[in-house]
Amino acid sequence: MVVMRIRLPLTVGAVLLLVAVAACGSESEATGADDGSATIVTALYPLAFVAERVGGEHVTVANLASPGVEPHDVELSPQQVGEIADASLVLYLDGFAPAVGEAADQNASDRLFEVSTVVDLMPAVASDDHGDHGETDPHFWLDPTKVSELAHGLAERLAELDPDHAADFRARADALEAELGELDASYENSLASCESATLVTSHDAFGYLAARYGLEQVGVAGLEPDAEPSAARIAEVQQIIRDNGTSTIFFESLGSSDIADTIASDLGVASASLSPLESQPEDGDYLTAMLDNLEALQAGLRCS
């Protein structure tokens, strides 16, 4: 199978991970990359990062999302549907990117691996303005400990597909967990003493981060970054900012800052960028981007 590195926009609500793994040295009809390695196709940067780190030289990873592009709903080409049909494993997050889920159900129903079976997801924020539809919040990768859960889950599944390299996959997951543990400790130490614990964001993308590090996320909009908040919600957020002495409103690095800038201007506070890490950073990787976020949080929350 030839892996096409097609650059497509993907949506926000689509926190999907599609991982197609073609088994090495197995009796599966699916084939690997030209060099004999397993092939992993992803549609979300944090998942591609984990796949690369866990799979190492035994896998070839292709990310469908371009660096610096906000993910949007996937519209699959015939070639991409073919890649799903040829895959040995389709790893995805249920409820996002319906086109991918439908293609996987139709073409690889016996080779599905749903992310929430190895990662414990939290419920989406519910409020009168955002609504409560029983959704889960997909942004688990903003909690490094959740990324470790995915790493070990993927290592075990790769070990099943490629037993000859099982020890390698597990060792790589352990090594990544150690790095993520250092990142987690940096967040805990740096955010332990802040003037404000109220994290005001343009939308509810940072719930896992807030829950992990003792912050209270206040999203102007819900899970969808392009959703338009009601006037009542904006007024509610403005009052929260006044009541808590909030000095900074954060907006997504790849999204529009208009709402955050307007509220900030009205109240005389600052606005700053915070990355939801849905797309590959222009420089560095997941770990360095998370450290950039930490620096922004320390400044915005006035942490000592």
Per the DSSP assignment, residues forming a β-bridge with 60 are 39
C-alpha triplet 126, 127, 133: angle, nearest 5°: 45
Kindly state the average pLDDT of the residues 208-233.
86
What pLDDT score does 188 carry?
A: 98
pLDDT surpassing 80 at residue 31? no
Go through the domains of the chain in sequence order and give each one's CATH number.
Answer: 19-185 (3.40.50.1980), 193-300 (3.40.50.1980)
What pLDDT score does 203 carry?
A: 83
Kindly state the average pLDDT of the residues 244-269.
87
Alpha-carbon gap, residue 260 to 271, rounded angstroms: 6
C-alpha triplet 290, 293, 298: angle, nearest 5°: 130
Question: By mean pLDDT, which of 75-84, 124-133, 221-230 is the weakest?
Answer: 124-133
What pLDDT score does 90 carry?
A: 73
**What's the whole-number average pLDDT of the chain?**
81
* pLDDT single digits (tens) 119-136: 999 988 764 444 443 488
Cα-based distances in Å from 202 to 46, 160, 217, 220, 224 = 21, 41, 10, 5, 10
* pLDDT single digits (tens) 148-197: 999 999 999 999 989 999 999 999 999 999 999 999 999 999 999 999 99
* pLDDT single digits (tens) 270-279: 999 999 998 8
The Cβ of residue 35 has, within 10 Å, a number of other Cβ atoms equal to: 7
What pLDDT score does 27 carry?
A: 37
Question: By mean pLDDT, which of 51-55, 84-88, 136-140 is the weakest?
Answer: 84-88
Instruction: Give the strand order in the sheet containing 90-92.
Output: 19-20, 90-92, 112-114
> Any residues with CB less than 8 A from the CB of 131 and at least 6 apart, and which?
222
What pLDDT score does 173 carry?
A: 98
pLDDT surpassing 80 at residue 5? no
pLDDT surpassing 50 at residue 2? no
The Cβ of residue 128 has, within 10 Å, a number of other Cβ atoms equal to: 10
Phi and psi of 46, rounded to 5°?
A: -60, -30
Kindly state the average pLDDT of the residues 23-32.
43
- pLDDT higher at 110 or 217: 217
What pLDDT score does 24 carry?
A: 42
**How sure is the predictor about 30, in pLDDT bands with cuts at 50, 70 and 90?**
very low
pLDDT surpassing 70 at residue 35? no
Phi and psi of 166, rounded to 5°?
A: -55, -45
Question: By mean pLDDT, which of 43-57, 185-199, 283-297 is the weakest?
Answer: 43-57
Per the DSSP assignment, residues forming a β-bridge with 252 are 274
What pLDDT score does 89 carry?
A: 74
Kindly state the average pLDDT of the residues 57-79.
74
The Cβ of residue 103 has, within 10 Å, a number of other Cβ atoms equal to: 21
- pLDDT higher at 46 or 145: 145
The Cβ of residue 239 has, within 10 Å, a number of other Cβ atoms equal to: 10
What pLDDT score does 160 carry?
A: 92
Kindly state the average pLDDT of the residues 9-35.
46
Pick from 246, 247, 218: which is nearest to 233 by CA? 218
- pLDDT higher at 139 or 28: 139
